[in-house]
Amino acid sequence: MSALTELALAIVLGGAFAAGVVLVATRVPRLAAPTLSRRIAPYLRDIADPRGLTPLESAGTDWRTRRDRFMAAFGGAARLEQRLRQAGWTQDAAGSRARQLTWIVVGALAGGAVLVLLALVGRMSPGAVLLPPVAGAAAAAVLDLRLTSAGHRRRARVEEELPTLLEFLSLCLAAGEGLCDALRRVGEIGSGELTAEIRRAVLDSGTGSNLSDALVDLGRRLDVPALSRALEHLVAAIDRGAPLAGVLQAQAGDAREDAKRSLIERAGKKEIAMLFPIVFLLLPMSVLFAVFPGIVMLRLGVG
């Protein structure tokens, strides 16, 4: 047994022993029981701590503050917040960075486990040392790709729902309802990503925010060009007193045209992509089937 194999075996046995000790320690009654401050805090908070800040919660607040500062040091917090809102994820930028860091650690640990396994079976090579950092970077890249893919899918669903929602709003307004009532009706009846955002905007407007500001924030959160354009025209119509039903009907027609144009563009891209299997797979096989029998006949000297 080589020294590298002995080191790998020691890591495996030491990790298993440490995990067992931690599991046993968590089940010890004295260590697993809640602290005295946690047990009596609900009964003394209104007397000893009227502001609701116990030492434990203060420590948690300090930890969150330090975490936010640490995550802000990486930069790009505003852009990350925008991507999280587009994807519909409820995390903030600091929570997303912490999750990404967790994925990196888990990936590195998985790579280290594979490295130890290779050392145990005697297949260790110098290049295998790079496995833990590569696995950690791959885990972070996978999480970022998931976020990007979720944002693209959600924006595509919003673009598909937009024309129908605008037409329904225009019908409600033409029937004599107000804009806020029409938005509330759409939020109650409809289903989908855009409808959920409409419900949030109506809730914001009902809790003290201006309806125009809530609609502008809605367009800023999703960052869909067609939706932002429609909401900007709607807010301008509200400010100027223009007929909202006609504005929404015109925006619905524009959204329909944008959907048709994007569909034609996607069809053109798919058509080009379909040429690859035809050119690189079907055409060479056809040429092979046409030429190979003649080559065989010439080699055999037949004909």
pLDDT digits (tens, 9 = 90+) for 191-239: 888 888 888 888 888 777 788 888 888 888 888 888 888 888 888 888 8
End-to-end C-alpha distance for the chain, whole angstroms: 68
For residues 181 and 5, the model is more confident at 181
Asked if residue 161 belongs to a domain, the reply is no
The model's pLDDT over 28-51, given as tens digits with 9 standing for 90+, comes to: 666 556 667 777 766 664 444 444
What's the chain look like in SS3?
CCHHHHHHHHHHHHHHHHHHHHHHHHCCHHHHCCCHHHHHHHHHHHHHCCCCCCHHHHHHHHHHHHHHHHHHCCCCHHHHHHHHHHHCCCCCHHHHHHHHHHHHHHHHHHHHHHHHHHHHHCCCCHHHHHHHHHHHHHHHHHHHHHHHHHHHHHHHHHHHHHHHHHHHHHHHHHCCCCHHHHHHHHHHHCCCHHHHHHHHHHHHHHCCCCHHHHHHHHHHHHCCHHHHHHHHHHHHHHHHCCCHHHHHHHHHHHHHHHHHHHHHHHHHHHHHHHHHHHHHHHHHHHHHHHHHHHHHHHHHCCC
Asked if residue 9 belongs to a domain, the reply is yes
- pLDDT value of residue 48: 45
The model's pLDDT over 164-197, given as tens digits with 9 standing for 90+, comes to: 888 888 888 888 888 888 888 888 887 888 888 8
Asked if residue 16 belongs to a domain, the reply is yes
The model's pLDDT over 243-262, given as tens digits with 9 standing for 90+, comes to: 788 888 888 888 888 888 88
Asked if residue 47 belongs to a domain, the reply is yes
Overall average pLDDT of the 61-90 stretch: 69
pLDDT-derived band at 82 (thresholds 50, 70, 90) equals confident
Domain boundary among 19, 45, 73: 73
Mean pLDDT of the chain: 78
14 and 43, same domain (yes or no): no
With 50 as the cut, is the pLDDT of residue 58 above it?
A: no
For residues 141 and 113, the model is more confident at 141
Q: Cα–Cα distances in Å, from 65 out to 58, 68, 94, 118, 252? A: 10, 5, 10, 42, 45
- pLDDT value of residue 145: 92
Domain count, the chain: 2
- pLDDT value of residue 190: 77
Task: Specify the amino acid at residue 158.
Answer: V
pLDDT-derived band at 83 (thresholds 50, 70, 90) equals confident
With 70 as the cut, is the pLDDT of residue 242 above it?
A: yes
47 and 65, same domain (yes or no): yes
The range of the structural domain enclosing residue 10 comes to 1-31
- pLDDT value of residue 160: 85
Considering only CA atoms, which of 110, 123, 249 is closest in space to residue 174? 249
With 80 as the cut, is the pLDDT of residue 71 above it?
A: no
Asked if residue 10 belongs to a domain, the reply is yes
User: Percent of the chain having pLDDT more than 70?
Assistant: 81
